[in-house]
Amino acid sequence: MPFVRVSYCEEKYTKKDLPLISENILNSLIEEFNVPPKDYFQVFASHKKEEIFYDNNYLINKTRTDGVLYIQITCGSGRTMEQKKALYMNIADKLFINCKVPKENVFIMLIETELEDWSFGEGIAQMIK
């Protein structure tokens, strides 16, 4: 049940790039978190260059550029640390190989929630039995 938000600099990615980035994030979630393929909810938001702030080198050995992708994944809790680390690497690898996004520009934040924190429509908490 992940919900993915991706923020990016409007000058760095085109409307042609976004579906491929989206597909690669979804495929990583399917592979590492066993997410069903139809559990596909993502929002992309572009920002002007002067609206995105970051340190070029914080906690990495290379330099981030204005091509940074902020990927926020909200999902149910319960994955192991190994699964989370595998997801981060899988996303970075796929975006680099398939979308030419340098790995240093892939910033991922995982936010965990409980089943009762979700409604997929109709005012119903579908995940609660």
- What are the catalytic residues? 2
- Please report the DSSP string for 80-122 in residue order: -HHHHHHHHHHHHHHHHHHH---GGGEEEEEEEE-GGG---ST
CA dihedral 121, 20, 17, 10 (to 10 degrees): 40
3-state DSSP assignment of residue 75: strand
Q: What residues pair up with 17 in beta bridges, in sequence order?
A: none
The answer to whether 107 touches 71, Cβ cutoff 8 Å, is: yes
